[in-house]
Structure 1
Amino acid sequence: MKHLFKAALNWTSTKNQEEATSKFYSKSHKITIEGKPVLNVSAAKAFKGDPELYNPEDLLLSSLVSCHMMSYLYVCSQNGIEVMEYSDNAQATLEVYADGSGRFTEVRLNPKVKISNPDKIELANELHKEANRLCFIANSCNFPVLHEVSCE
């Protein structure tokens, strides 16, 4: 089964006559997805973007964190584990090369989970591997998505 997702990006130059010869463009733009609030995006501050806006790197990491949690909740429900709380403080490592290209080299998820039955902690910890195997976003990445799990 295939699903189609659509997003529209709109950008307009904000350069005035004096800036017209500048090699830098504004990185701020809007992404619209039908029926949802507009997403204001820019480059990361390190890449001359607006640090107050989300950037593609933020959004990629957010997608991984969110998808892993939803996959984890799914596998827990399939295994009779009631999750009471879930939090994550994830990190992504981006390498930028001399030619201006770059890539993520790894993402490290740090899920902290509280379950209702302490007798199932070992299984709850193991289910992160299954969640990672099922995660649509992790399956689409060409870098490792690592997990440092804590369950109580």
Structure 2
Amino acid sequence: MAAIHHYEVETHWRKPDASTNPMNHQLELAGRRAIDASGAPQFKGDASKVNPEELFVAALISCQMLSYLALAGRAGVDVLAYDDHGAGTMTIADKRMRITEVRLRPRITIAAGGDEAKARSLVEAAHEACFIANSVACAVTVEPEIAVG
């Protein structure tokens, strides 16, 4: 039998006064502190708040990292640091917007004496295990840099 998990998010928006950006809203995740959000600045959103496009890339970058760390732990790879820079590309064609590509560039530092080849091979395995990457229609490219130190 397949394991099934459910995740819930609420959004809260009220008609603002004239001094407030009408795209501003809050996201509430299972009773935790609300996140102030808006549209992307290219679409007249508030640049000081997170936007759906950034959250899309953030979901991919976080899932890739967590998948990698889990696999590395099982494989005995001692990861000292994991830093990543993710970038998403949105394309507007035929009056439709969509994210067409997300590129992740993790820099993974493993302990001295660690197996660099094994650490590198786990990047692709983590990508295959990442449920967010498995759920999206756009291309997701991972270009790792492995450092030993």
Q: Note the alpha carbon deviations across 1:91-124, whole angstroms, 9 max, x for none.
A: 111112352x211111110000110144510111
Give distance in 2, aligned partners of 1:51 and 1:44: 7
User: Partner of 1:151: helix, strand, or coil?
Assistant: strand
1:4 partner SS:
coil
Structure-2 separation of matches of 1:4 and 1:97: 33
Q: Given the alignment, which residue of 114, 132, 142 partners 2:137? A: 142
Q: Is the 8 A contact 1:81 1:117 kept in 2?
A: no
Report the equivalent of 2:127. 132
Choose from 48, 65, 72 the match for 2:68. Answer: 72
Give the corresponding residue for 1:97: 93
Amino acid in structure 1 at the alignment position of 2:140 = V
More strand by share: 2
Deviating above 2 A after TM superposition, structure 1's stretches of 4 or more consecutive aligned residues are: none
In structure 2, what is the Cα distance between the partners aligned to 1:4 and 1:71? 19
Any unmatched runs of 5+ in structure 1? 17-24
Q: 1:1-152 counterparts in 2 under 5 A? A: 1-14=3-16, 26-97=22-93, 99=95, 101-152=96-147
Aligned residues: 143
Residues 118/106 of structure 1: CA separation in 2 closer, same or farther (3 Å cut): farther
Q: TM-score, normalised by structure 1?
A: 0.88
Shift of 1:145: 0.9
Question: 1:35 offset after TM fit, Å?
Answer: 2.9
For the aligned residue pairs, the C-alpha RMSD in angstroms reads 1.5
- Counterpart residue identity of residue 70, structure 1: L
Report which of the two structures shows the higher radius of gyration computed on alpha carbons: 1
Unmatched 5+ residue regions in structure 2?
none
Q: Deviations over 1:41-88 (max 9, x none)?
A: 100000011111000001111111111000000111111101001100
Same amino acid, percent of matched pairs: 31
